[in-house]
Structure formats: C-alpha cells, structure tokens
C-alpha cells in the first residue's frame, strides 16, 4: 500500500508533464501552419528596399523592383478599418496568387517607409502596376472595387 502511495503520484506527474509538452508542440505546429497559409506578405524596410523599391538610394525616381504587380497595404494594429480590410486582402492574395503580390507594411514598426510615402491616413493602399506609375487609395476599399482595380490596373 505504501508503494502505491508513492507510485500513483509519480504516474500522475509523468502523465501531466507529457500531455502539456504535446500541447505546446501542437500550438507551435498550428502557428507555423497558419503563417504558411497566409498569402499576404508582411514586409520590413530591409525587404522593401530589396523587393519593392530602393527609396533610400534614389528617393526622387520611382523604380519598382518586383517581377509581378503589387499592392502595398499600409496599416497599423490599432486601426479598425485596417482590421476589416485585412481578411479581404488575404482572400484576394489567395485568389490572385502567382499573379500579384500583396504586401503589408506596419506603419508603427516601419516608420521610414511610411514617411517616405507620406502616409497620413490608414489604411492606405498603393497599387503598383508593372510599367506605370503607382496609384493610391485611402480607406477600407470594398472587395469588389479592389477586384476591379486589380483586373483593370494591375493585370491589364
């Protein structure tokens, strides 16, 4: 009986520790799966300079560096309209995957990019066609309007 009093709590402790460990692993796997499913690309200043435009070297002339048209979404985590626009952009990124890039730029973290583009209202969308000047839209643009812009400006 004395052995049972010692072994039983040990077994419970082992079960508790192993079950907690598997949950943590499951959560890590779920988080990495979620980030892989995302089609919208969050971009930093360093990535922006390499993939979109090198505004640091040449701030006077626009030269898009990408190989596909793009949409830049300037947002902030506290912005209500940005939060409403985010799932719409995610849907469009999946729908137009392989045809356009959709980049998200957190204006709170990437202040240098926001300043370079004079971003003062959120959300602000910058539409970048391949061989034309970019066009800008402010506010939460409805999905059907975004599709029209993508089809008529970015993919024409």
User: Known catalytic residues?
Assistant: 79, 82
Helix (H) or strand (E) segment spanning residue 9: helix 2-37
Helix (H) or strand (E) segment spanning residue 20: helix 2-37
Q: Contacts from 11-16 at CB under 8 Å and sequence distance 24+? A: none
> What would the two tokens of residue 146 be?
């975004």
HEC states along 32-91? HHHHHHCCCEECCHHHHHHHCCCCCCCCCCCCCCCCCCEEEEEECCCCHHHHHHHHHHHH
d(CA 86, CA 97): 16
Name the DSSP class of 147: H
């Amino acid at each position: 009986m004395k052995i049972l009093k010692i072994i039983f709590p040990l077994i419970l402790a082992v079960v508790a520790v192993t079950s907690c460990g598997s949950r943590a692993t499951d959560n890590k796997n779920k988080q990495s799966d979620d980030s892989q499913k995302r089609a919208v690309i969050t971009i930093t200043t360093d990535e922006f300079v390499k993939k979109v435009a090198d505004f640091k070297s040449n701030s006077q002339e626009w030269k898009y560096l990408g190989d596909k048209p793009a949409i830049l979404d300037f947002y902030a985590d506290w912005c209500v309209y940005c939060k409403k626009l985010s799932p719409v952009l995610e849907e469009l990124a999946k729908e137009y995957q392989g045809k356009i890039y959709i980049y998200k730029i957190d204006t709170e973290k990437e202040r240098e990019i926001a300043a370079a583009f004079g971003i003062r209202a959120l959300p602000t969308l910058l539409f970048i066609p391949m061989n034309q000047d970019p066009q800008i839209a402010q506010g939460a643009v409805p999905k059907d309007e975004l599709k029209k812009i993508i089809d008529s400006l970015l993919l024409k």
